[in-house]
Structure 1
Amino acid sequence: MTNTLSTIVNIAAYKFIALDELPRRRRELKSLCSRLSLKGTILLSTEGLNLFLAGSRGSIDEFLVEVRSDPAFADLKTKDSYSDRQPFNRLLVRLKREIIAFGVEGIEPAKNPSPKLSAKELKKWLDEGRPLTLLDTRNDYEVQLGTFENAVDLDIDHFRHFPEAIKQLPPETRERPVVMFCTGGIRCEKAGPLMEREGFKEVFQLDGGILKYFEECGGDHYDGECFVFDQRVALDPNLEETATTQCFACQAPLNAADQQAETYVLGEHCPHCYEEFLAKHRATIEQRQMQLAEFAKVLPGSVPYDHIRPLNIPKRFDQATLLDTLDGLHPHMGRDQWKDFCERGFITFEDHEKREHPVDPQRIVRAGQRYNRHVPAMVEPAVNADIRILHEDDAIVVLSKPAPLPMHSGGRFHRNTVNFFLDEVYAPQKLRFVHRLDANTTGVVVCARTKAIARNLQVQFEAGTVEKSYLVRAQGHIAEDQFTSTTSIGRDTVQAGLRLPDPDGQHARTEFKVLERCDDGTGNLTTLLEAKPITGRTNQIRIHLWELGHPVCGDPGYLPDKKLGRTQTLGVGEPPLCLHAVRLSFVHPETGEPFLAEASMPGWSNSQHVP
């Protein structure tokens, strides 16, 4: 059945014949195919030739004329089909021990072939209802796509398993006609002589296989498609390419239903290999989790180490003294403390050769210069390092962050941070945070494996298409079951680095829903809420609840009665900040499918464990 609209001709051919001079034949065939721009696979062995090639009609015809000029292949027959694209990526011409792997000694199809049954004769037998056994010699994944009606499936995953499989056939099979078939006939060439040797009395092979049957008889008595070993994956009885594709991971053919299944993710897994994928995925995460736990046995920042902090000079301190600059940048340290640091050589300046020199506190600084502050034998506060990996793939890693635990280096923390832990466990790869949680906040954190993936996700956050859901426990009973806060938030920090509501500040919107109102019987009233920040301002949920008179339980910065506290990271063992990023929903940057990241509920979400 010729498709005149298609431009690529696909041919399959084989011949069992004793061959010699294989290296020469390989060179000549490779040169011929390259000259004609043909792609595909040619296998040569001492037992014959097996080929699958594709190219233009003119190139295929010229190739066949040249090959058939060799007396060994003068009668070479082909099975033709057509496609709109080249189904092969490259040309391979290989020397093999067998042109079809079987692994059984003494089988010589060229000398002792089984009788062949033409496609039209088989159709006639099937039309008549003649008693026979139709035996499918193909692999299980091929049979899944289609086979002849009432055919026997040997359930093998490689042709090498055929010899053992036929031993399991019912004894009566040996007494009646058996018609074997495969894609193009080559497997039956070897299977037939073996079956005769094993005592099957009347064995036929379908001449030209399923493809020849399609060409001459269409789809009569056949149910489904035929798997082919190229990028087309499967052909229908009209020898047209179907919508069937192939799993990148396990190579299984995937029909339309497979491609619609939830367990199919392009490039990762399909319904046939999903369980294996899950097992490997779990093993990878378990290994990472063990590495994190091992690394956290002794917190890296809690072991004394010498630390260097960069001090960059901003424009406003250009031409000021170093002492005035340091005191202006970090007034909480005290002027005398900074002077002492300078005199003890803890403040240095690098020359152009990267050599460090102590500096006088009265030195005049220039904007853009960088100085170093040396902190000898630094010991960081303890943290909760129980980081949990929720998901990872080739694009993203999703974590559940504990608290207290800063994400980035800064202030009193440089090694006891999420970033430092991940750098150790995922080295040499450096994960990129696409959003952040405060040190005292727990829950879902999404990391990107590459800069491009990070940018993709950041664009989603900036566009407001990422759905964020937090669990929060607030002080007091909130009357409304559902409410929205649109209080604007100031751009600048005030006391202790905290931001405040500001009518001229940045627009902010948070939607709240009351989940439970709790009373512990001692007058301690709290409300458990779901909070959905539509915008993403710093401390947004905490500020909105504080402004409403219901600060978050455990918040060290936003206190009852509109008072402000401190912004420092809480200590291990202190009552927690009851704010938990419970889920994030976004479009996966590689698959383009919706992705939901969800963390387990914290202990304080239970009314029996209100801190």
Structure 2
Amino acid sequence: MALHNRISRKELKERILKDNTPRTTISFYQYFPISDPTTFRNHVYKIFNNLGVLGRIYIAAEGINAQISVPTENFEKFKEALYSLDPALDGIRLNIAVDDDGKSFYVLDVKVRPKIVADGIDDPSFDMSRRGKYADAETFNKLANDPNTIIIDMRNHYEYEVGHFENAIEVPSDTFREQLPMAVEMMQEHKDKTIVMYCTGGIRCEKASAYMLHKGFKNVYHLEGGIINYVNQVKQKGLENKFHGKNFVFDQRLGERITDEIIAHCHQCGKPADTHVNCANDACHLLFIQCEDCAKEFEGCCSKECQEFIHLPPEEQKKKRKGIDLGRNVFNKSKERLGKLLAKDK
């Protein structure tokens, strides 16, 4: 069988939007040694593809990281298959999505990467096995109530903007690799305090806790299973919820509603809003927050310039898009470069 997708992503997306099969969105990760990531990747692809799994899976010598959706009727078969892949995966925690419409993914991508989360760490003495202590929801709440505890958000700035824990410190950056050294520098004067780190599903804060210990910090925790697991535990155990707003997720949903509070604002008019969208202009694709009124006024675009662009003839749009590489194009980045690129063909 083929070990990759042969159908266009556009067609696959249309299929999943029309398909009413109940699906469950799941995320999981595990740090463990994989001697042959490519062979392991091919094995994973064949098994998961046969079960109708969709989503994004990264495999590296250091482990596996996955955000996927599974046909609900195949959930138990999927668990059995996952747990049998390697002894290190037997019984690992699965984070079940909090706010799920079953349309989170429309294609199965299983890729081999240098690392399962890009961290920028090149120190050969760094040891991922020496990581911080797990904090479940109950422990997290107790630590959060202690004035000697510092809570650090190890997510990107646009994730923090729409939702975060009470009193959490933001490490303002676009990438995790930028955050790690910034977090160490910001916490130098607090080495005697308890540090609790958190992220979406646990993979980033777990590595961050190990990095903080590597840099000489002593009392470091990381939130077990991240925000997703915390919210599920809070609901199951009837605990106080200390997370406010929306949890940003990296799939088609772009967010899980945790509380009714809207703590962010539309990037165009400033009204309360926390809906992330990508600019409708494919030559821009900027990730930004847009309210319903601005979505109508700008037709899903981030600016009047982009709105004008989407009304150009398709061939002219295609010509102007050619050669443009926007990288990680998110709201806080300057659009001056984009304007210059688009202006070259006018």
Higher relative strand content: 1
- 1:189 pairs with 2:210: no
| Equivalences for residues 245-284 of structure 1 within 5 A | 245-248=276-279, 249-254=284-289, 256=291, 260=294, 265-267=299-301, 269=303, 273=331, 276-277=334-335, 280-281=338-339, 284=342
Counterpart amino acid of residue 88 in structure 2: A
- 1:201 pairs with 2:218: yes
C-alpha contact (below 8 Å) 2:132/2:209 kept by paired residues: yes
Which position in structure 2 is the counterpart of 1:233?
254
| Equivalences for residues 23-422 of structure 1 within 5 A | 23-69=38-84, 70-81=86-97, 83-104=100-121, 105=123, 106-109=125-128, 111-126=129-144, 128-217=145-234, 220-237=241-258, 244-248=275-279, 249-254=284-289, 256=291, 260=294, 265-267=299-301, 269=303, 273=331, 276-277=334-335, 280-281=338-339, 284-285=342-343, 288=346
| Equivalences for residues 365-514 of structure 1 within 5 A | none
CA shift, 1:283, in A, is 6.2
Q: Distance in 2 between matches of 1:180 and 1:51?
A: 20
CA shift, 1:73, in A, is 1.1
Q: Distance in 2 between matches of 1:190 and 1:256?
A: 35
Counterpart amino acid of residue 77 in structure 2: E
After superposition, the C-alpha distances for 1:479-509 in whole angstroms (9 at most, x for unaligned) are xxxxxxxxxxxxxxxxxxxxxxxxxxxxxxx
Aligned partner of residue 191 in structure 2, secondary structure? helix
After superposition, the C-alpha distances for 1:172-212 in whole angstroms (9 at most, x for unaligned) are 32110000000011011211111112222211001110111
C-alpha contact (below 8 Å) 1:116/1:204 kept by paired residues: yes
- 1:274 to 1:158, Cα distance in 2 relative to 1, 3 A: closer
- 1:275 to 1:133, Cα distance in 2 relative to 1, 3 A: closer
Instruction: Mark the runs of 5 or more structure 2 residues left unpaired by the alignment.
Output: 1-19, 261-272, 307-328
Q: What TM-score results when the alignment is normalised by the length of structure 2? A: 0.72
Q: Distance in 2 between matches of 1:275 and 1:19?
A: 37
Question: Of the two structures, which has the highest relative contact order with CA contacts closer than 8 Å and spacing of 6 or more?
Answer: 2
- 1:6 to 1:243, Cα distance in 2 relative to 1, 3 A: farther
Q: Distance in 2 between matches of 1:265 and 1:173?
A: 47
Counterpart amino acid of residue 108 in structure 1: D
CA shift, 1:169, in A, is 1.1
Which position in structure 2 is the counterpart of 1:485?
none
Instruction: Mark the runs of 5 or more structure 1 residues left unpaired by the alignment.
Output: 289-611
CA shift, 1:221, in A, is 1.9
Aligned partner of residue 188 in structure 1, secondary structure? helix
CA shift, 1:72, in A, is 2.6
Q: Number of paired residues? A: 279
CA shift, 1:61, in A, is 2.1
- 1:95 to 1:255, Cα distance in 2 relative to 1, 3 A: same
After superposition, the C-alpha distances for 1:227-277 in whole angstroms (9 at most, x for unaligned) are 1110010002279xx9723224345252537x6379954255599649944
C-alpha contact (below 8 Å) 2:62/2:115 kept by paired residues: yes
Aligned partner of residue 168 in structure 1, secondary structure? helix
CA shift, 1:167, in A, is 3.8
- 1:284 to 1:97, Cα distance in 2 relative to 1, 3 A: closer
C-alpha contact (below 8 Å) 1:107/1:190 kept by paired residues: no
Q: Distance in 1 between matches of 2:192 and 2:226?
A: 23
Counterpart amino acid of residue 287 in structure 2: A
After superposition, the C-alpha distances for 1:315-370 in whole angstroms (9 at most, x for unaligned) are xxxxxxxxxxxxxxxxxxxxxxxxxxxxxxxxxxxxxxxxxxxxxxxxxxxxxxxx
Q: Distance in 2 between matches of 1:181 and 1:6?
A: 33
After superposition, the C-alpha distances for 1:509-565 in whole angstroms (9 at most, x for unaligned) are xxxxxxxxxxxxxxxxxxxxxxxxxxxxxxxxxxxxxxxxxxxxxxxxxxxxxxxxx
Superposed CA RMSD: 3.1
Counterpart amino acid of residue 38 in structure 1: V
C-alpha contact (below 8 Å) 1:246/1:253 kept by paired residues: yes
Counterpart amino acid of residue 291 in structure 2: A
C-alpha contact (below 8 Å) 2:244/2:259 kept by paired residues: no
Q: Distance in 1 between matches of 2:189 and 2:297?
A: 41
Higher relative helix content: 2
Counterpart amino acid of residue 107 in structure 1: F
C-alpha contact (below 8 Å) 2:288/2:302 kept by paired residues: no
Q: Distance in 2 between matches of 1:71 and 1:273?
A: 42
CA shift, 1:282, in A, is 6.1
Q: Distance in 2 between matches of 1:133 and 1:274?
A: 26
Aligned partner of residue 220 in structure 1, secondary structure? coil
